[in-house]
Amino acid sequence: MSDESRIKEKVRERYGEIATEFIETKGTASCCPPQRASCCSPQQASCCSPNQTDVTSFTNAMRLYPAQALADLPGSVTDMALGCGNPTAIAELRPGEVVLDLGSGGGIDCFLAARQVGPQGRVIGLDMTPEMIRLARQNAKKMEINNVEFRYGEMEEMPLPDESVDVIISNCVINLSPDKDRVFSEAYRVLRPGGRLTVSDIVTYGPLPEAVRSNLEAWAGCIAGALDESAYLGKIRQAGFTQTEVMERSVAETEQWFKADQAQQMAQSLDELRGEIGKIASIRVTARKP
């Protein structure tokens, strides 16, 4: 198995486990988010902790999205917000547009986008994890949302025709791909002329240790696959995009990240990574296809 295949398999396995655990042990009515609920800054105050009862859980969604945006979303959506930003906040979505979400997970960004494009618009969620597709479809059915669909597929080979979408969004997912050149090339292909790319993702400022880069757990944890910001933006431009702009930067709270369950699975890399605090951040980027 090639390195790229091993990385993809690990990522698919990790997020499949998260979705399965949520579906089977927490269900759609649970107040408790999964233990690995945040890809990047997973601090939580679970309503099921021993010293807290009958308290609304602090989920990753509450940190990333305004309260009014979450008001009518069920816990099966908000508790599965695994991203590092809110791409719909800067996408300037308009009624009637077709939106593609890369790595749609439980569907939160798709459902928020569906509100903005309205019944005449359409949102497509793409994910390579069958369990996440299953969860997202259950959520759409539960909420009776008809302008969203979820498709199984990979970012490096999107199952969509050329020039078929107006806007592409993604939330802390492109860093998981071992072939980002292909992802941005495919994004350019499926966007219509004048289409927009709006992503939240993890980047670095300077190189990370090889012990981290080669660690599969660190790949699945959104760290090992992160590129230096200049390299990340360069790949977007190389794919043909123009007007590439970083709208926001936020240094990741890496000390909190080390306390997370996913960090504990990276024991062999922790000592190396502790010295890199401040080198890892989330950014929100926009770009346009001419």
Q: 172 — alpha (psi -120 to 50), left (phi > 0) or beta?
A: left
Residue 71 — very low, low, confident or very high, per pLDDT cuts 50/70/90? Answer: confident
HSE (side-chain half, CA atoms, 13 Å) at 149: 9
Q: Which residues pair with 123 in a beta bridge?
A: 99, 148
Q: What is residue 1's predicted lDDT score, i.e. its pLDDT?
A: 55
115: buried, middle or exposed (CB in 10 Å: 19+, 13-18, 0-12)?
middle
Structural domain total, the chain: 1
Q: What is residue 41's predicted lDDT score, i.e. its pLDDT?
A: 38
pTM of the predicted model as reported, rounded to 2 decimal places: 0.84
**Domain containing residue 188:** 3-33+48-288
Lowest-pLDDT range, 50-64, 156-170, 171-185, 202-216? 50-64
Q: What is residue 27's predicted lDDT score, i.e. its pLDDT?
A: 55
Q: Is residue 162 part of a domain?
A: yes
Q: Is residue 152 part of a domain?
A: yes
Q: Is residue 199 part of a domain?
A: yes
Span 118-124, mean pLDDT?
Answer: 97
Q: What is residue 99's predicted lDDT score, i.e. its pLDDT?
A: 98
Q: Is residue 39 part of a domain?
A: no
Q: Is residue 27 part of a domain?
A: yes
Lowest-pLDDT range, 1-5, 83-87, 129-133? 1-5
Q: Is residue 258 part of a domain?
A: yes
Per-residue pLDDT at 273 exceeds 60: no
202: Cβ contacts below 8 Å, ≥ 6 apart: 39, 40, 84, 172, 175, 222, 223, 226, 252, 280, 281, 282, 283
Give me the CATH number covering residue 123: 3.40.50.150
Q: What is residue 19's predicted lDDT score, i.e. its pLDDT?
A: 92
In the chain, the percentage of residues whose pLDDT exceeds 70 is: 79
Q: Nearest-CA neighbor of 77 among 97, 94, 62, 88?
A: 62
Give the integer Cα–Cα distance in Å for 112 and 10.
Answer: 29
Q: Is residue 148 part of a domain?
A: yes
* Pairwise pLDDT comparison (105 vs 257), residue with the higher score: 105
Per-residue pLDDT at 220 exceeds 60: yes
Instruction: Report yes or no: 182 and 238 within 8 Å, Cβ to Cβ.
Output: no
Q: Nearest-CA neighbor of 10 among 128, 185, 179, 180?
A: 128
Per-residue pLDDT at 201 exceeds 70: yes
Q: Is residue 281 part of a domain?
A: yes
